[in-house]
Structure 1
Amino acid sequence: MKGFVKNYSGIIWLLTGIALGSIAGLIFGKKVEVLKPIGDIFLNLLFTAVIPLVFFAISSAIANIKPSDKLSRMMGFTAIVFLATVLISAILTIVAVKIFPIHEALGNAQLSEKIEDSPFAEQLTKLFTTTEFYELLSRKSMLAMIIFSIMIGFAALKAGKAADQFVGFLHSGNEVFKGVFILIMKAGPIGLGAYFAYQVGVFGPQLFGTYAKSLGLYYGFGAFYFVVMFSVYAFVAGGIKGIRRYWKNNLIPSATAVGTCSSIAVIPSNLDAAKKMGIPEYIANVTIPLGATLHKDGSSISSIVKMAVVFALFGKGFDTADAIVLALGMTVLVSVVEGGIPNGGYVGELLFISAYGLPIEALPPAMIIGTLVDPMATLLNATGDTVASMVVTRFTEGRQWIDKAI
């Protein structure tokens, strides 16, 4: 019990602050507007810290890659499988949102005036580039800054020993801004509590129905994806034997994921499960740790749900081709950026809100949804790594890999 409380203490405190703020909003109504500056200060700190945090996290990760010819083929299949499963989960979630339109009834709960959509070509230009270097430091240019970070990482990697000190600087910067982000998030219960007091006091309790519907969709679709789609992936990897082998050895990783709410914490049990499934060590030892930071089916699903709800709250359509294409691209990017960063889900929310040019008020609704779905998201993120490793083994070792393992 103590371990459970320790692992979920951050979520518990955050939800407590939000609950108390919401109650204050219900009781005092518009009088709680006086608390809004507290929430705004917290959100401003988050947006200020996220730019250097993401820059150092991405550039440092790439600069520290150790290439290996022996693993290149396996790494190629790993990248394909990770990308494919994240996109499949996102596309299926878009279909689920279309079937169960949680966002269509939110017109009366819009938090601001409708935001006009820019032409698709103009959106792409603004997403990927800036006209001046200093504009990379703006949260409105987050994607352009990420592309720049990737270029810096590869340039440092190519420079070799000549860039050792610079690579060390990138690594140190990554560690420092992780700490900064952790410090800011300690104020999360107060900041979000004040913000939700304002939201409920001004806009009324109808917002709760928004969250209830989105949670119902997420947990319902998440359960479907966990049981059905993971079984499909296991079948692709090894037929009926693959399904049996996967579910026989997936119980402990699943329990660990729900109990710890951390994909990183599930790595040891996933490695043990992978060994029992017959996945070769040279594959498991790369795909499992890598998957814990880069492969996130659960985060992919939550990204789409959050986008649909936030778009509706701010009068933005989520049914056009360009919106869906951008959403898929952002989902893949969010899954990658979240890895290795404390409270990475919040960084992902900051990213898609910035990229779409949504106002700062869009962050709290996305954060509360992300917080409430975290247990199921962790379950899908973590246990999806082993079944993905099975698929990688199938294409790396051939169809008979599971018989050889037996």
Structure 2
Amino acid sequence: MNNENREEKKEKKQVGLTTKILFGLLFGAITGFVLNYAVPDSYFKNTIVINGILQLIGQGFIRLMQMLVVPLVLCSLVCGSMAIGDTKKLGNVGAKALGFYICTTALAVTVALTTANVINPGIGLDMSKIHKSSTVATESATQSTNIVDTFLNIIPSNIFNSLSEGTMLQVILFALILGVILAKMGDRVETVKNFFSQFNDIMMEMTMIVMKVAPIGVFCLIAKTFSQLGIEAFQPLLKYMIAVLIALGIQCFIVYQALLKVFTGLNPLLFIKKFFPVMEFAFSTATSNATIPMSIDTLAKKMGVSKKISSFTIPLGATINMDGTSIMQGVAVVFAAQAFNIHLDLTDYLMVIGTATLASIGTAGIPSVGLVTLTMVFNTVNLPVEAIGLIMGIDRILDMTRTAVNITGDAVCTTIVAKQNDALDRDIFYQGEQKEAS
């Protein structure tokens, strides 16, 4: 009994990955400040420590993340689009839910890009002077491409070249088409479907293994940045957090509630009041999947939504509706572009909206995958992925808020679809709240 109690105490004392990454961020910043302000310039400091050890480990971690991008995105999107293909069995409900999720994700990225361009989180953080790769990225990003070529470049002429070169929009298109075809062919291609499902599981496991070294990678990336930039790096990071939170708030309390009012006529404030306990649960657990039963039950008992609708649209939303993650990616794009002094034009922003929207279909329900797909979004518009190391520790703090936004979007979509299919009982929604509703 004593041994069992000791083992239980040890398990409770184990520090989670989120905490470890935050510690890596904190100690990296402290180490960087010490190197910048307390340690005099020398060969050992500049060459061996900053541009040697910290550069090697930090960039090694970034390369590990880059290594995951193509196979993970390919398998995730094939599996995601296979699931979407199955929604045809539910006809009108599936089509409406899918269309709503894709549209709100595109709106979410638009809100994020607009908010970030107002707040300008990356201005004041000149990363270009400490990363030579940003010069190449700047040249690539500023090359002009007409709109016809932009759309033609989405279609792969050779998918194997697209995979080897990491041309992500082409990989995304191929994966979506392949997944829908596999879903349509059903049992005839069961072996191929199992291959992608199992390989997707393998990539998820590999992602978790790579993320185990994330605290060390973040420590080295942050320490190197702060050792060369000093205190000036703090304000942009704070502005990044504020921009993400504001964009999440706009999406959750303005965009979603406006759509709810327009398509159902229900009282948005009453909806938030009734659904708020589910939002709190999602915030505390930081996982959409764990909230599925509570969401379905709340929608049925407090909103009057038929479980025939919610039992399909809520799990589907937990799989493909990642508006919160898309908002983080949109703000991160602006942050990185400004930090590296890279100009992005309208075409680049449209590519970001399209890529982040499509990527959300295959984003799995683990926090680290959002950062991997962020690497993909950066590659689409030729942004240096070094900026991910800066925001990684802070982003984990925002993850809980993103989850609450995601499940709220699922609930709004479900309520709208239920209303349009005569599966919403307004009397239950307004039960005991007639005065407030009026």
Scaled by the length of structure 2, what TM-score is found? Answer: 0.82
Which residue of structure 1 lines up, in the alignment, with residue 62 of structure 2? Answer: 43
Which residue of structure 2 lines up, in the alignment, with residue 87 of structure 1? Answer: 106
8 Å CA contact 1:7–1:261 kept in 2: the answer is no
Q: Supply the AA of the counterpart residue of 2:413.
A: A
| Structure 1 counterpart SS, 2:146 | helix
Cα gap change, 1:249/1:329 in structure 2, threshold over 3 Å: closer, same or farther? same
For 2:113 and 2:81, locate their aligned partners in 1 and report how far apart those are by CA, in whole Å. Answer: 31
Shift of 1:212: 0.5
Where does 1:175-190 land on structure 2 (aligned, <5 Å)?
175-190=201-216
Cα gap change, 1:142/1:241 in structure 2, threshold over 3 Å: closer, same or farther? closer
Shift of 1:382: 1.8
Shift of 1:17: 1.0
**Range that drifts further, 87-96 or 196-205:** 87-96
For 2:85 and 2:158, locate their aligned partners in 1 and report how far apart those are by CA, in whole Å. Answer: 33
1:402 is aligned to 2:426 = yes
Which residue of structure 2 lines up, in the alignment, with residue 287 of structure 1? Answer: 313
Which residue of structure 1 lines up, in the alignment, with residue 146 of structure 2? Answer: 121
Shift of 1:215: 1.0
8 Å CA contact 2:117–2:334 kept in 1: the answer is no
Q: Supply the AA of the counterpart residue of 1:325.
A: L
8 Å CA contact 2:96–2:417 kept in 1: the answer is yes
8 Å CA contact 2:88–2:94 kept in 1: the answer is no
**Range that drifts further, 323-332 or 227-236:** 227-236
For 2:13 and 2:245, locate their aligned partners in 1 and report how far apart those are by CA, in whole Å. Answer: 24
Match of 2:278 among 242, 249, 253: 253
Cα gap change, 1:349/1:6 in structure 2, threshold over 3 Å: closer, same or farther? farther
| Structure 2 counterpart SS, 1:128 | coil
**Range that drifts further, 177-186 or 30-39:** 30-39
Which residue of structure 2 lines up, in the alignment, with residue 99 of structure 1? Answer: 118
1:53 is aligned to 2:72 = yes
For 1:65 and 1:322, locate their aligned partners in 2 and report how far apart those are by CA, in whole Å. Answer: 28
1:103-152 superposed Cα distances (whole Å, 9 cap, x missing partner) = 44445776433612222338726852455443233363122122222233
For 1:392 and 1:6, locate their aligned partners in 2 and report how far apart those are by CA, in whole Å. Answer: 45
Shift of 1:40: 1.6
Q: Supply the AA of the counterpart residue of 1:46.
A: M
1:18 is aligned to 2:41 = no
8 Å CA contact 1:226–1:380 kept in 2: the answer is yes
Where does 1:59-208 land on structure 2 (aligned, <5 Å)?
59-63=78-82, 67=86, 71-107=90-126, 111=131, 112-113=134-135, 115-116=138-139, 117-121=142-146, 124=150, 128-138=154-164, 140-208=166-234
Which residue of structure 2 lines up, in the alignment, with residue 33 of structure 1? Answer: 51
Which residue of structure 2 lines up, in the alignment, with residue 209 of structure 1? Answer: 235
Shift of 1:62: 3.3
Q: Supply the AA of the counterpart residue of 1:54.
A: V
For 2:369 and 2:14, locate their aligned partners in 1 and report how far apart those are by CA, in whole Å. Answer: 16
Match of 2:349 among 300, 324, 346: 324
Shift of 1:94: 3.1
Unmatched runs of 5 consecutive residues or more in structure 1: none
Cα gap change, 1:69/1:27 in structure 2, threshold over 3 Å: closer, same or farther? closer
For 2:317 and 2:161, locate their aligned partners in 1 and report how far apart those are by CA, in whole Å. Answer: 32
For 2:360 and 2:299, locate their aligned partners in 1 and report how far apart those are by CA, in whole Å. Answer: 22
**Range that drifts further, 177-186 or 8-17:** 8-17
8 Å CA contact 2:29–2:223 kept in 1: the answer is yes
Scaled by the length of structure 1, what TM-score is found? Answer: 0.88
For 2:299 and 2:384, locate their aligned partners in 1 and report how far apart those are by CA, in whole Å. Answer: 44
Q: Supply the AA of the counterpart residue of 1:323.
A: D
For 1:73 and 1:300, locate their aligned partners in 2 and report how far apart those are by CA, in whole Å. Answer: 26
**Range that drifts further, 75-84 or 98-107:** 98-107
Cα gap change, 1:258/1:107 in structure 2, threshold over 3 Å: closer, same or farther? same
Cα gap change, 1:187/1:327 in structure 2, threshold over 3 Å: closer, same or farther? same
Cα gap change, 1:155/1:341 in structure 2, threshold over 3 Å: closer, same or farther? farther
For 1:241 and 1:358, locate their aligned partners in 2 and report how far apart those are by CA, in whole Å. Answer: 42
Shift of 1:386: 0.8
8 Å CA contact 1:57–1:341 kept in 2: the answer is no
8 Å CA contact 1:127–1:355 kept in 2: the answer is no
For 1:229 and 1:104, locate their aligned partners in 2 and report how far apart those are by CA, in whole Å. Answer: 27
Where does 1:292-311 land on structure 2 (aligned, <5 Å)?
292-311=318-337
Cα gap change, 1:273/1:109 in structure 2, threshold over 3 Å: closer, same or farther? farther
**Range that drifts further, 372-381 or 337-346:** 337-346
Which residue of structure 1 lines up, in the alignment, with residue 373 of structure 2? Answer: 348
8 Å CA contact 1:291–1:385 kept in 2: the answer is yes
Shift of 1:377: 1.2
1:205-233 superposed Cα distances (whole Å, 9 cap, x missing partner) = 31221111111222234334433334323
8 Å CA contact 1:293–1:340 kept in 2: the answer is yes
**Range that drifts further, 59-68 or 195-204:** 59-68
8 Å CA contact 2:159–2:170 kept in 1: the answer is no
8 Å CA contact 2:82–2:180 kept in 1: the answer is yes
8 Å CA contact 1:102–1:214 kept in 2: the answer is yes
Superposed CA RMSD: 2.9
For 2:245 and 2:83, locate their aligned partners in 1 and report how far apart those are by CA, in whole Å. Answer: 37
8 Å CA contact 2:61–2:217 kept in 1: the answer is yes
Unmatched runs of 5 consecutive residues or more in structure 2: 1-8, 37-45, 432-438
Shift of 1:177: 1.2
Aligned length: 400
Task: Report the structure number with the largest CA radius of gyration.
Answer: 2
Q: Supply the AA of the counterpart residue of 1:10.
A: L
8 Å CA contact 2:124–2:339 kept in 1: the answer is no
